[in-house]
Amino acid sequence: MLPLQIVVIGGGAAGFFGAIACAKVNPDAQVTLIEASRQPLAKVLISGGGRCNVTHACFDPGELVQNYPRGAKALRGAFTRFQAQDTVAWFAKHGVYLKTEADGRMFPVTNTSETIVECLIKAAATSGVKLRIGTPVTSVKRTSKDHGFDILLKSGETIKCDRLLLATGSSLIGYKIARELGHKIESPVPSLFTFNILDPKLRELAGISVDTVQLRLSVGGKSQLQQTGPLLITHWGLSGPAVLKLSAWGARVLHESRYQATLLINWLPGLQQEQVREQILAVKNEWAKKAIALHRGVDLPHRLWQYIIARAGITTEDRWAGISNKTLNLLVQELTQGQYLISGKGVFKEEFVTCGGVNLQEVNFKTMESKLVPGLYFAGEILDIDGVTGGFNFQSAWTTAYLAGNAMGTELSHI
């Protein structure tokens, strides 16, 4: 009897993890990993600023799924089978130890993504996975017996296999193959991006960060979503965890609005608007003869305070004693719900995440097998799953790949 022929298309995190899982659970199977480029795991290598944010220290599946704008429901059961704690244990078993940073992100203790890349390549080789790099795939077809697949390579060669795992990330060829095999593809659009704000005065503050702000997104005059967290002012507008999370949850609505929207910023989310007003009045009474620009009375960076008061029509020479009630109201408004026009999206260089992909209703999340095409499996970003920044996208890749790999190697129903 010929050994089971299994092919994984895509040499990224999900592809390697799935291939390794499959080869380990079924040592007799012939597992081949095909990667179009000459550099497997390229995205892993540059992720997390070259450190690789492997996962997040959130070990409760119910809490973990709350970090996925798309895919949370489908991942709930999957995370009970393989979650962040299992990822940590897997890498430790393979000699790679992770550390947890203050915000919950987990990185290799070596602080370099090369550690993760080397670990995966070594584990694949040790497990007997056959790696073929620089091997682009052009199409996949079901065999005439409706059992197995014919994979056509750009070179003209055809590879036959019994089971196939698509772990092609957000590449167009993966969507093309899935669609040709009968799957619906939810339109891919960017997720995790920064906001362009056409305000030269704001951009002059590039590099200033605020630990906690509350953001509200308004598209077409309707308040859509909100996020609270750190904010970073950049040379093109706004970034930081709060912005990136908001961009993930608002990926589709922002795409539909062509990235034209209004952002409402509450710079002092720990206070009610009336409390901010009382605090400003107290400062006015105490520092009546002092310049407003130099005596702020709120916990914000000095240059940011000067920018905000200018938006309220206050000059650097104005004193607290001379501020009118109307100007005071404008200042409170700027501090608690200042309006900023989003004019486009920037790039978050550390993660390249796409919202969209294979429709989740067409996939069995116990095994990651297609409900439409027996023997076809999916893992990673090709699925309509995306998480916020912090290691969550890698975690969904590890989880779906592990489940797919184990199922491919052990399921006997299609042989």
**pLDDT tens sequence across 263-285:** 999 999 999 999 999 999 999 99
Q: Report pLDDT for 414.
A: 41
Q: Report pLDDT for 160.
A: 96
Q: Report pLDDT for 413.
A: 41
pLDDT in tens, the chain (415 residues): 689 999 999 999 999 999 999 999 999 999 999 999 999 999 999 999 999 999 999 999 999 999 999 999 999 999 999 999 999 999 999 999 999 999 999 999 999 999 999 999 999 999 999 999 999 999 999 997 667 999 999 999 999 999 999 999 999 999 999 999 999 999 999 999 999 999 999 999 999 999 999 999 999 888 779 999 999 999 999 999 999 999 999 999 999 999 999 999 999 999 999 999 999 999 999 999 999 999 998 999 999 999 999 999 999 999 999 999 999 999 999 999 999 999 999 876 655 688 999 999 999 999 999 999 999 999 999 999 999 999 999 999 999 999 999 999 996 544 3
Q: Decide if 9 contacts 181 (C-beta within 8 A).
A: no
Report the residue count for the chain. 415
Q: Which H, E and C letters describe the chain, residue by residue? A: CCCCEEEEECCCHHHHHHHHHHHHHCCCCEEEEECCCCCCCHHHHHHHHHCCCCEECCCCHHHHHHHCCECHHHHHHHHHHCCHHHHHHHHHHCCCCEEECCCCEEEECCCCCHHHHHHHHHHHHHHCCEEECCCCEEEEEECCCCCCEEEEECCCCEEEECEEEECCCCCHHHHHHHHHCCCCEEEEEEECCCEEECCHHHHCCCCCEEEEEEEEEEECCEEEEEEEEEEEECCCEEECHHHHHHHHHCHHHHHHCCCCEEEEEECCCCCCHHHHHHHHHHHHHHCCCCECCCCCCCCCCHHHHHHHHHHCCCCCCCEHHHCCHHHHHHHHHHHHHEEEEEEEECCCCCCCEEEEEECHHHEECCCCEECCCCCEEECHHHECCECCCCCHHHHHHHHHHHHHHHHHHHCCCCC
Q: Report pLDDT for 412.
A: 55
Residue that has been written with the tokens 């308004």 in this structure: 218
Q: Report pLDDT for 146.
A: 65
Beta-bridge partners for 132: 34
Q: Report pLDDT for 382.
A: 98
Non-local (6+) Cβ contacts of 349 within 8 A are: none
Per-residue pLDDT tens over the stretch 125-151: 999 999 999 999 999 999 976 679 999
Q: Decide if 375 contacts 147 (C-beta within 8 A).
A: yes
Nearest partner of 211 among 229, 228, 195, 227, judged by Cα: 229
